[in-house]
Amino acid sequence: MLSKVALLAIPGLQPFEFSVVCEVFGIDRSDQGGPAFDLRIVTKDPGPVRMNLSDDGARGFDMIVDDDLSFAAEADLVVITGRGGARGGAVDEAYLDVLRAAEARGAWVLSVCSGSFVLGQAGLLDGRRSTTHWMYTSEQQTMFPGTTVDPDVLFVEDRKVITGAGTAAGIDACLHLVRQEYGAASANVIARRMVVPPQRDGGQAQYVLSPVAAQQCESLAPVVDWMLDHLAEDLPIGRLARQAHMSERTFARRFRSELGSTPAAWLNRQRLFRAQEMLERTDHGVERIAADTGFGTAAVLRHHFDRVLGTTPAAYRRSFGVRESA
């Protein structure tokens, strides 16, 4: 199970993306039922490492790093973040070798934002799907033609190599990995402490600059809260639109605009989250969980587990449940 995390500190790194990784993996949350990781910040030459606040490196500050790269050789996860405007800049082979060795021994490798370009230089994107910040997806595809870049998602996982999109999408990528290794409940503990959604729906395409209507739509927060309270019920779009006091067409359009997903797809994902939590924390049978989460039957629940999570409810419970079902 994921325990040791090595965060590479390459000169020129961007502080916010770096801090995201420290926030997810660097705080012991075991007192709240969350995981605790052995996170170490490592660099080739211990001492001051420059962090950039601007792409040209004109503004920034130094961080003191005590550990060299040796810890990375035993890490279960190696993480790389972006380096300002140095996407195509040469990276010291010592860092590339660390990433290659991690991938070769079956450890997790994760990049945040333009850190994916470092993975590309290490050859880890070849033959894999990947993503990066929407501003750089075309550049990444050109520089590394061996990968298939998906510009519309928040993160991509392909055979234990995870690439996150923009800066904040690093949170989504990190929480996804925690969910894979420890289950939804543990990821939710971290998300609550960070005051972020356990998983956002939609992709980064919703953040690309586009024309804005003259009159902004009101927040759908009230109807979203109502949907979460009524997951077990049949929620056709007509009922949801009436709850929001809108026509069906207007509701569907505004829902996609604000949440980056159709109402049906969003509901299915929330129902799956609820089912994961029930499998982890209760001994209810699959039929009851399917009914309580709005999937209706165990067959439908199993279908969604297989399609989205690539596993079965029973296997998920064996991995993450606190006790077996009766």
Whether residues 50 and 179 fall in one domain: yes
- CATH number for the domain including 287? 1.10.10.60
Show the domain range for 273: 211-326
Q: What contacts 191, CB < 8 A, 6 or more positions away?
A: 175, 197, 198
Whether residues 45 and 84 fall in one domain: yes
Q: Dihedral angle at the C-alpha atoms of 310, 311, 312, 313, nearest 10 degrees?
A: -100
Classify residue 288: in a domain, yes or no: yes
Whether residues 172 and 240 fall in one domain: no
Whether residues 227 and 107 fall in one domain: no
Q: How many domains does the chain have?
A: 2
Q: Is the pLDDT of residue 94 over 60?
A: yes
- CATH number for the domain including 95? 3.40.50.880
* 224-243 mean pLDDT: 94
Classify residue 199: in a domain, yes or no: no
Summarised one tens digit per residue, pLDDT across range 175-189 is 999 999 998 889 889
211 — pLDDT class (breaks 50, 70, 90) = very low
* pTM, to two decimals: 0.72
* 126-139 mean pLDDT: 94
152 — pLDDT class (breaks 50, 70, 90) = confident
Summarised one tens digit per residue, pLDDT across range 270-286 is 999 899 889 988 999 99
Whether residues 86 and 188 fall in one domain: yes
Whether residues 18 and 72 fall in one domain: yes
